[in-house]
Structure 1
Amino acid sequence: MKLTENTILVTGGGSGIGLALAQEFRKLGNEVIVSNRSQERLKKARAEGFATYEVDMADPASIDALAKQVVADYPSLNGVIQNAGIMQTENLQAGNSQQVQNDTIAINLLGPMRLNSALVPHFLKRDRAFIMTVSSGLAFLPAAMFPTYSATKAAIHSYSQSLRYQLKDTSIVVQELAPPYVQTTLTGEHQASDPNAMPLAEFVAEVMSILKNKPEAREILVERVDFLRSAESKGVDAYYDFFNSFNDQMTSAMAGAV
């Protein structure tokens, strides 16, 4: 992707990684539009000078309305960063995770897919365009206490490959951003100050450096996520040993945080 002269929609752009990316892309001279479900976060984004749109990424009608309105208001739109998402723990023994599962799949997986479907016809008319999906390091090594979140991110990774292949002879570049554990409020306020998480500013700086040096990178992987991305390359037995060790450590860490 070209880092300048774009008009970009950032979903989930009212906080965390989404807002930080919106700020960085605007610094480069891009026109950046922010969407979010939270009115409070949209208000803060507007205070920074961003154009904002309210959207519920779990609602197909809301997504369709967003796409139509943004394209109408910004015919130059040629990029989307699919950052919106939720992450919640689940106890699969309790049998009460259905609502969390429904919401997570709707927002994290179906939402980006629906928005891409709505925007691709417009992007195909542009001389150049890009779609940046946002998966996670947990797409490659799931966190057992976040089973549906991890599953949706694995699905986004798979979907991104198929989308990229189908669009390979068009003007649309498809890139996948796979963050590690970053200091945001995705799982709650505690995460924003967790010393085990990557500082948000450091993460975004590395992402922008990757995009500058490898503008056509299929996967945008900061160094801290490499151990997750390469987990399966260890072989089946070693992978499962690593999976168990990783989740044992995460369970202990979460228990200590409570």
Structure 2
Amino acid sequence: MNIESRSVFVVGGTSGIGLELARRFRAAGSDVVVGGRTTELLEKLTAEGFGAVEIDVTDAASVARARDDVLRSHPDLDVIVTMAGTGAAEDLQDPAHFATARTIIDVNLLGTIRVIDAFISHLVARRAATVVTVSSGIGFLPFPLMPTYGASKAGVHAYSEALRAQLAGTGVEVAELVPPAVATRIGSSNPHALALDAFGAEVMSLLAQDPTPREILVEGVLMHRWAERDGTYHDLVAQRSQALAALPSRTKG
């Protein structure tokens, strides 16, 4: 895709990977609006020269207001990045985990769907636009300590595939970004997490390819994406399951 001279809305772009990509899109020459929930962060980004709009992807009314605000100031909007996400460890033997699971699904999967639903008519009318969804390496190779996070991201992958098929012929392309662990708030505890700047540079290089890859796969996520194909899946899941030893249900007694 052309990453220059685009009109881009990064939902969930006030920190982490979203902010990294927002800055790189702007550095490439695109006009970027960042969406998020935290007023203070949005004000800082406004001072930095970004467009900024408040959005809570768990609230359909908030998503609709954000859409109206963005399209009022950027009627030529032609790129949406559905970056908003959250994740946490869960002990599935503790019924209290369900509240965490519900929040994760509401943000990661339903939030993605709400944003796409809000903008899809506009993007189809443009006849040349891009939706960048964000799944995860964990959606392909589970990390059992974060079961609902992985399930939500596997759902984003399946939804992206269906969205691409339904939009075929409209001029709207769908690219699925599949991050591995990256040194952000969610991935900071992983000693193997990729440096954020290196990850961002690799992602933008892949996005800039023509044609745009269906999946944006940096080198560090290939072991996750192709584990089943390569016959390493079961060994890697067993290795990643060692983190379960820290769960309260495993340490009782």
- Show the 5 A alignment for 1:131-142: 131-142=131-142
Alpha-carbon deviations, 1:196-223, whole Å to 9, x = none? 2100000001111112234410000000
- What's the CA shift for 1:148? 0.7
Q: Aligned-residue CA RMSD in angstroms?
A: 1.9
Normalization by structure 1: what TM-score? Answer: 0.91
Q: How many Å apart are 1:47 and its aligned residue? A: 2.4
Instruction: Flag structure 2 segments of 5+ consecutive residues without an equivalent.
Output: 249-253
In 2, Cα distance between equivalents of 1:222 and 1:157: 16
- Correspondences of 1:145-164 after superposition (within 5 Å): 145-164=145-164
Equivalent position amino acid for 1:64 in 2? A
* 1:246 corresponds to which of 236, 240, 248: 240
Are 1:206 and 2:199 matched, yes or no?
no
Q: Which residue of 1 aligns with 2:41?
A: 41
SS state at 2:70 partner: helix
Matches within 5 A, 1:15-94: 15-94=15-94
Following superposition, the deviation at residue 195 of structure 1 comes to: 3.9
Q: Supply the distance in 2 between the matched residues of 1:47 and 1:186 (Cα, whole angstroms).
A: 26
Paired positions, count: 248
Is contact 1:14-1:44 (8 Å) kept? Answer: no
- Cα distance in 1 for partners of 2:94, 2:133 equals 32
Change beyond 3 A, Cα 1:215–1:47? farther
Structure 1 residue 118: deviation in Å? 1.2
Mapped to 2, the partners of 1:85 and 1:178 lie a distance apart of 13
Once residues 96 and 253 of structure 1 are traced to their aligned partners in structure 2, the CA distance between those partners, rounded to angstroms, is 17
| Structure-2 residue corresponding to 1:108 | 108
Give yes or no for the alignment of 1:229 onto 2:225: yes
TM-score, structure 2 as length reference: 0.92
In structure 2, the residue corresponding to 1:89 is in which secondary structure? coil
Aligned residue identity for 2:183: Q
**Aligned CA distance change for structure 1 residues 252 and 181 (closer, same or farther; 3 Å):** farther
Mapped partners of 1:129, 1:72: distance in 2: 18
- The superposition leaves residues 59-114 of structure 1 with CA deviations (integer Å, 9 ceiling, x where unpaired) of 11111221122112211111100100001111111110121111111110011111
Percentage of matched positions with identical amino acids:
41
